[in-house]
A and B are shown apart, each in its own frame.
Chain A
Amino acid sequence: MAPAVLLLLGLTAYPFGYAVYISLHTWKVTRPARPFIGFDNFRELLFDDERFINSIEQTLIIASSALVLEFLFGLVMALLFWTAYQRVRWVATGILVPMMIAPVVVGFTARMAFNNSFGFLNQILSLLWPGDVNIQWLSDPTLAPVVIILADTWQWGPFMFLILLAGLLATEGDQLEAAVVDGARGFRLFWHVVLPSIKPILLIALVLRGLDLLRTFDLVALATRGGPGINSETITYYIYNLSFKFFDLGKGAAAALLMLGGLSIVVFFAVRSVVRAAR
């Protein structure tokens, strides 16, 4: 275990200290002078950088919408599959395919699919809708985040489905039958009997997906590149731009540390719940 811990320490603790150091300086690749400026980078980000605030908003919008959609898709599918699972296993296998595709490929596919004139999505919508549908998915400021949300849902809805199905298949038949005998039906049965029995698994699924969504990068990089403008720029993508496009390492490090701070709180509770559920 020593090598594992050493490797992880070297690649996390040291960079962390270094990041703190960088964040306290004006540190630009293009400029040799790196004066110490205290917490100015942090102050600028929090109070004087609309783009940073925008990236937080976009991240929260994308993450929460995708999480809800994925959960609903997963739940509906899992409930549909629950009883028929043995007969239609092969359908489940097909539905799982998106989950195994690299996020960059999903991003590229989304970029093709959502293209307003060359993409197949508008084409299919034109078949279902009267008239020629020409939605500017990728260039409309409000629709660009929707592209990310839909693409992420396409890829990870199956994950929710798989997990919830595992939960449902593990519920006790006896308990259900007892509830049915007592007269519970439909939504009440679902709410009072089924849902509580899959709650631990549900929690894990939401936590894992939520954490992944908060650092969405690959999908954004390939599908929209944060655009149009900065309308689908997530926090991780902005931090990447700060450091590797604008070469403002000081501010990039400060933004990264702010994100780390925010995320640590979430991760702390999330990991605890996962560890508990795993036992």
Chain B
Amino acid sequence: MSRVRTRRSPLRRAGTNTGLTAALLLALLLALLPVVWVVLTSFKPEAEWVSDPPVWIPGDWTTASYSQMWTADDGAGALWNSLIIVGIATVAAVTIGSLAAYSFSRFRTGGRHIVTWILSIKFLPPVVFAVPLLIMFTDVGLYDSYRGLILLYTAFQLPFVVWLMKGFFDEIPLEIEESARVDGCSWFSIFTRFALPLSAPGLAATTLLTFIFGWSEYFVPLVFASHEHFTVPVQLSAYFSEAVGLEWGPQAALSVVGVLPVVLLALVIQKYLIRGMTFGAVKG
């Protein structure tokens, strides 16, 4: 009987539903209010970017901030750089990372330590490696180049891909692959014809999450790119240089353009968010 009944939290007494609703709505308001502010600010005329007291609703809705950000401040260039760098690096990281993950999952290559080591890298602050890498990159001509940035993004995303994909591969029952093996399939064709298709949702989620994390990356392009190869996050921070005043309008516009696609992507794979953000430790 008790299984049929809707489960109720024993922590909560009956009759607190109004309180619950109020608390939830308050939390929702707290979470979304700053976002709303940024979106509204991006449509304000220049006089309302900074005003005391602050104005919430633009008196005169305008897309002037967007055009300034897009052309005069070259937000379009930054967006393009982000797309190229993060896009290619995501494909590269997912490709290399999946292969590595499969090998860790099926053959326990290198034992447990190497997998742990790979995860550890993810937790090290990139600032630790920045200077030596910068000198290296300058020496070999990779500083401020697409190739160099893509290489770094790929490397920093790898641990994440390896861990997440390893989890997805671990979940595929071995029987299918074993019978394919008996039928004479090579490991590589088992990988491409069985393992990958069977973990397709996981692969898609991993790809999108890798893209989202890469999209937010700030430190790497800050150090390893000059103006020509700025990505969206660095471009956003560049507005704070002393020469520019309080350019809240264009900055908000760039934030909206830069963040919106990623938030939408993330909502699509909401189911995999926890799993992704805990490196597969929490299955969600």
Interfacial residues, chain A to chain B (CB-CB below 8 A) = 1, 3-5, 7-8, 11-12, 14-16, 18-19, 22, 77, 79-84, 88, 91, 93-105, 108-109, 112-113, 115, 117-120, 123, 154, 158-159, 162-163, 166-167, 173, 176-177, 179-180, 184-186, 189-190, 194, 201, 204-205, 208, 211, 214-215, 217-218, 221-222, 225, 236, 239-240, 243-244, 249, 252-253, 256-257, 259-260, 263, 267-268, 270-272, 274-275, 277-278
Say yes or no: is B24 at the interface (Cβ < 8 Å to chain A). yes
B233 to chain A, nearest CB (A): 4
Say yes or no: is B104 at the interface (Cβ < 8 Å to chain A). yes
Contact of A204 among B51, B119, B240, B282 (CB under 8 A): B282
CB contact under 8 A between A243 and B116, given known A4-B158, A97-B263, A194-B11 = no
Q: List 28 A-B contacts (CB under 8 A).
A: A1-B99, A1-B100, A4-B96, A5-B118, A7-B154, A12-B129, A94-B28, A97-B32, A99-B277, A101-B263, A103-B218, A108-B237, A109-B34, A159-B277, A162-B274, A167-B282, A177-B10, A204-B281, A218-B218, A240-B130, A243-B131, A244-B130, A253-B131, A256-B127, A256-B129, A259-B125, A272-B116, A278-B167
Residues of chain A within 8 A (CB-CB) of B8 are: 83
Please classify the interface of chain A as helix (H, G, I), strand (E, B), loop, or mixed, using the class held by over half of its residues.
helix
With a 10 A CB-CB cut-off, give which of A101, A176, A267 has the most chain B CB atoms.
A101
B144-170 with Cβ < 8 A to chain A: 151-152, 154-155, 158-159, 162, 167
Tell me the complex Cα distance, A236–B43, Å.
35
A105 B128 Cβ-Cβ under 8 A = no
Residues of chain A within 8 A (CB-CB) of B133 are: 11, 15
B250 to chain A, nearest CB (A): 11
Residues of chain B within 8 A (CB-CB) of A222 are: 236-237, 240
Please classify the interface of chain B as helix (H, G, I), strand (E, B), loop, or mixed, using the class held by over half of its residues.
helix
A191 to chain B, nearest CB (A): 11
Contact of B282 among A98, A163, A194 (CB under 8 A): A163
B246 to chain A, nearest CB (A): 7
CB contact under 8 A between A112 and B248, given known A102-B215, A215-B125 = yes
Say yes or no: is B219 at the interface (Cβ < 8 Å to chain A). yes
A80 B135 Cβ-Cβ under 8 A = no
CB contact under 8 A between A104 and B282, given known A113-B34, A218-B233 = no
CB contact under 8 A between A18 and B128, given known A88-B24, A118-B50 = no
> Chain B interface: which size bin?
35 or more
Residues of chain B within 8 A (CB-CB) of A104 are: 216, 218, 233, 236-237
List the 7 closest pairs (A to B, CB-CB), nearest first. A18-B132, A102-B216, A4-B100, A215-B125, A15-B132, A1-B100, A100-B266
Contact of B284 among A8, A96, A102, A166 (CB under 8 A): A166
Tell me the complex Cα distance, A84–B133, Å.
50
Interfacial residues, chain B to chain A (CB-CB below 8 A) = 2-3, 7-12, 20, 23-25, 27-28, 30-35, 37-38, 41, 50-54, 56, 96-97, 99-100, 103-104, 109-110, 112, 114-116, 118-121, 123-125, 127-133, 135-136, 151-152, 154-155, 158-159, 162, 167, 212, 215-216, 218-219, 222-223, 232-233, 236-237, 240, 246, 248, 251-252, 255, 258-259, 262-263, 266-267, 270, 273-274, 277-282, 284
